[in-house]
Amino acid sequence: MKAFVLDRYGKKGALRSADMPMPSLRDDEVLVEVHAAGVNLLDAKIRDGEFKLILPYRLPLVLGHDVAGVVVKTGPQVRQFKVGDEVYARTDDFRIGTFAEFVPVKEASLALKPANLTMEEAASIPLVGLTAWQALVEKAGLKKGQQVFIQAGSGGVGSFAIQLAKHLGATVATTTGTSNVEFVKRLGADVVVDYRKQDFEDILRGCDVVLNSQDGKTLEKSLRVLQRGGKLISISGPPDPEFGKSIAAPGFVRLVMRLLSAGIRRRARARGVGYSFLFMRADGGQLREITRLLEAGAIRPVIDRIFPFASTNEALAYVEAGRAKGKVVIKLK
């Protein structure tokens, strides 16, 4: 099968177009013929070697986390899916590889594709949708009437999280550039901070939840816009000891995580707020909940550009540039 392969870690290195053997199928997996694959900043970070401690992949590696496609084969233990089903998923860590013609996906991580979405639209959803769900529903327990600050509202996670937070009944604040102010308002943002002209710390107060996706300086400032009892959830780090425990990391890796997050956890405690790091995981059950919202029209996919499969490296570079409005997708079929 044709695939895009990472041979060695390196910043902005190109993936190699290659013919690879068909992936082996485990008993609890289905083989999906890839029709479309979402492109995420996570793919670039893994390529650059930023997650070597957390995700020690063996190279060469086929990158890609989001998939929409058709089931072509099922393992003997699979009960929920059959050949011909249109499905979508965020593949599991250590079983990624959606920048290819075929990818195996664990049954527990898979869901039927939303009936009202194209393959490209469906492929744009899993990673960002599950990130927003696990941050706002699972970790934050976001409730009607609460105020949430979602950073980078025009990006992949931000554009989904704004819509989910509004569906949950929250008041939503976000940051974006001047050209995207009206765009994020249409998604449902109530308070929009133009980061080119304003500092969110001067405008926001008393937030219940902050979803941080930016740098360390922004993380520090985020503490100051939360009220006591609030929750700061970061998807950009630093990782905390709870995360190390959840992935059963080796002792020295847990120690590194403890040290990396010691400062922010201490300052959060001093202000009476909680800090947690989120590295989203594959979850077919949560994806089915998201499907219901998509089919009901409560959330709509936001796609910036669709690239042909041959242009996978260009798609990755476009995502890395940080200017995408919503998601970037690769089309195979």
pLDDT tens, residue by residue, 234-273: 999 899 999 999 988 899 889 999 999 999 999 999 999 9
The CATH class that applies to domain 2-125+301-331 reads alpha beta
Which residue has tokens 């930023």?
Answer: 50
pTM for this prediction: 0.97
**Residues 209 and 231 sit within 8 Å (Cβ to Cβ):** yes
% the chain with pLDDT above 70: 100
What band does 53 get if pLDDT is binned at 50, 70 and 90?
A: confident
Give domain limits for the chain. Answer: 2-125+301-331, 128-277
Q: What is the pLDDT of residues 61-104, one digit of tens each?
A: 999 999 999 999 999 999 999 999 999 999 999 999 999 999 99
Neighbouring CB atoms inside 10 A of 145's CB total 10
Q: What is the mean pLDDT of residues 266-286?
A: 97
Please give the CATH topology (third level) of the domain spanning 128-277. Answer: Rossmann fold (3.40.50)
DSSP SS3 for 39:
strand
Residue 199, pLDDT score: 96
Whether 128-277 and 2-125+301-331 are alike in CATH topology: the answer is: no
Residue 12, pLDDT score: 83
What band does 214 get if pLDDT is binned at 50, 70 and 90?
A: very high
Question: In sequence order, which ranges of 72-125 are alpha helices (DSSP H)?
Answer: 119-123
Closest CA to 276 of 246, 231, 245: 231
Residue 323, pLDDT score: 87
Burial class (CB in 10 A: 0-12, 13-18, 19+), 289: middle
DSSP SS3 for 252:
helix
What band does 308 get if pLDDT is binned at 50, 70 and 90?
A: very high
Average pLDDT of the chain, as a whole number: 96
Distances (CA, A) of 118 to 69, 125, 204, 280, 333: 10, 11, 38, 24, 11
Q: What is the pLDDT of residues 98-152, one digit of tens each?
A: 999 999 999 999 999 999 999 999 999 999 999 999 999 999 999 999 999 999 9
Q: What is the pLDDT of residues 160-211, one digit of tens each?
A: 999 999 999 999 999 999 999 999 999 999 999 999 999 999 999 999 999 9
% the chain with pLDDT above 90: 94
Contacts of 22 (CB under 8 A, 6+ apart): 1, 102
Q: Is the dihedral of CA 153, 158, 161, 163 positive or negative?
A: positive
* Separation of alpha carbons 99 and 307, rounded Å: 12
DSSP 171: E
Residue 54, pLDDT score: 85
Neighbouring CB atoms inside 10 A of 298's CB total 14
- At 230, which amino acid appears? G
Bridge-based pairing of strands 226-234 and 207-212 is parallel
DSSP 94: T
What band does 57 get if pLDDT is binned at 50, 70 and 90?
A: very high
Residue 248, pLDDT score: 87
